[in-house]
Structure 1
């Protein structure tokens, strides 16, 4: 099979397509023939790939992906519903490494523990399903579990048209919150208004701390100076979900700041799939790249201007 491996340290110049054997699975694992994988450009710079001796692992990229089950381990429970031919979406949770492979879905085939995949939503194509697991679960766990957002509260989403933020916008509206989003282009403004965002601010023209007060929850995938401004908008009992690395000391010392790393939860992902089938949530796809255009796909992510998710098709052979 073909696989995209990254050879850190470095960025897109260290991406290589290699020919490899199809991975063998353990008794409790499932083998998936890949249809598409989501692009997380920051994965090129994750510290989890550096070993204690300073050298680096060379992972197959792609934390979340979609495809068709090709093989099921003998130890996979029958009541899991996972069987050969089933269309699934999966999330590897690479941030929680185990003794097993941390190779992802940018390949012809990928393996994962059976608990890391669920049937794809019936309403979605296999391609679009690849966009769901990581981003939707991040928004779900942030707002539902950590911030416990409630109807009538105010949610601020900086960079609201981004691949994860757009799920936070939808979940916030679904819960009955007042949602404020920031963006800078007419395309982004139009997208956010289509999801019913109550107030859209141009972050190039305003400082959050000067125009907003009494915000209950900030879902922050931008971080940096944006986090500092967003903290000024929070009420005394508010929560700022800091989602890009651990917050610096001047922010992290504030008890209202919550940093967490998303993990796979099959129950939550199944609930998200159900809500997609009910028409209450939907993915937003920025672009879909062919497998051999992987460098261009990651460069698109690095621009920081993607509207929704960037996807990479699986290889044809």
Structure 2
């Protein structure tokens, strides 16, 4: 089979479409004939040499895919060859085929085409595990998501609205802010020329903040939280190290979590199997009803993955970039 190789750490042009060994399903695994994958910021970090795959995972980038089950490994139940599915991956999505634990596979949502489904598993599981399972977002809460126009942000806005929370979002361009508003965010705050802390304080503070910036936003996020608020950090676009004001956390009884998804174990209460099962039970109905839909910024041939990486790095991407076979 063919898939994307990273020739060496570097710029997008190090991505090459090359030949790889055909994947074989181990016990509890299936092989998916890939229809599409999607670009996540973690893929850019891997290409740059800053985010190596977990032990045993494919060196091929790609944390999600959609397609058709082509082969079943031993001990797999609940799936059949020919099923249209999407899947959460630890790697390997930028390829013609990929092997994945069956417990990380989800049925293609009704009403969503097979290619579009490729952009759902990673953002859906990231948002759900951090915002709902960990931070406990619920009806009546005020929720703030940074980078509201991206793949994570557009999903988070709609999930929070479907749960009955009020949603605030930060975004850059006028078009990005308009997208956030159309999905249900109010207020939408320009991170270029507005103070999100002041806006949130006027509203009484956020109960939950989903943050992709890390160090540069840490103190401001703590200031923007309400009493007993929860900061969920999922990215480090603004740096890795910052000073933490523990007194601010103690006085406001704040909680903070920093939870990745790729390196989690398969089993256990914090494992991928439990997350995917909860997503299938609780998020999938929201997607199939139309309450949660993930905007697509562009569809790019998988062989031109370098173009998709360049587009995401250029900024102001609205929704997901899909890589189509």
| TM-score normalised by the chain length of structure 2 | 0.85
Residue 112 of structure 1 is matched in structure 2 by: 100
Residue 291 of structure 1 is matched in structure 2 by: 302
Q: How far does the alpha carbon of each residue in 1:205-228 deviate from its partner, in whole angstroms, 9 at most, with x for none?
A: 112223321221111123332333
Q: How far does the alpha carbon of each residue in 1:168-213 deviate from its partner, in whole angstroms, 9 at most, with x for none?
A: 1111111111111111222112211212212111111112223321
Cα separation, partners in 2 of 1:207 and 1:11, compared to 1, 3 Å = same
The CA distance in 2 between the partners of 1:268 and 1:240, in whole Å, is 21
Please report the RMSD computed on the Cα atoms of aligned residues, expressed in angstroms: 2.3
Runs of 5+ in structure 2 lacking a partner? 265-271
Cα separation, partners in 2 of 1:236 and 1:269, compared to 1, 3 Å = closer
* CA-CA distance at 1:31 after TM superposition: 0.9
The CA distance in 1 between the partners of 2:11 and 2:289, in whole Å, is 39
The CA distance in 1 between the partners of 2:125 and 2:21, in whole Å, is 31
- The answer on whether the counterparts of 1:7 and 1:59 sit within 8 Å (CA) in structure 2 is no
Pairwise mapping of residues 164-313 of structure 1 onto structure 2 (< 5 A)? 164-213=152-201, 214-245=205-236, 248-251=241-244, 254=249, 256-262=255-261, 264=272, 265-271=275-281, 272-313=283-324
* CA-CA distance at 1:296 after TM superposition: 0.5
Out of 61, 77, 87, the residue aligned to residue 84 of structure 2 is 87
Cα separation, partners in 2 of 1:86 and 1:14, compared to 1, 3 Å = same
How many equivalent residue pairs?
298
The CA distance in 1 between the partners of 2:300 and 2:184, in whole Å, is 29
Residue 4 of structure 2 is matched in structure 1 by: 4
Structure 1 stretch displaced more, 205-214 or 125-134: 205-214
The CA distance in 2 between the partners of 1:30 and 1:51, in whole Å, is 19
- The answer on whether the counterparts of 1:152 and 1:178 sit within 8 Å (CA) in structure 2 is yes
- For the residue of structure 2 that corresponds to 1:33, the secondary structure is strand
- The answer on whether the counterparts of 1:5 and 1:15 sit within 8 Å (CA) in structure 2 is yes
Q: Which runs of 4+ in 1 moved over 4 A?
A: 252-255
The CA distance in 2 between the partners of 1:157 and 1:50, in whole Å, is 27
* CA-CA distance at 1:71 after TM superposition: 0.8
Cα separation, partners in 2 of 1:51 and 1:225, compared to 1, 3 Å = closer
* CA-CA distance at 1:154 after TM superposition: 0.9
Residue 269 of structure 2 is matched in structure 1 by: none
The CA distance in 2 between the partners of 1:267 and 1:120, in whole Å, is 14
Runs of 5+ in structure 1 lacking a partner? 95-102
The CA distance in 2 between the partners of 1:194 and 1:158, in whole Å, is 16
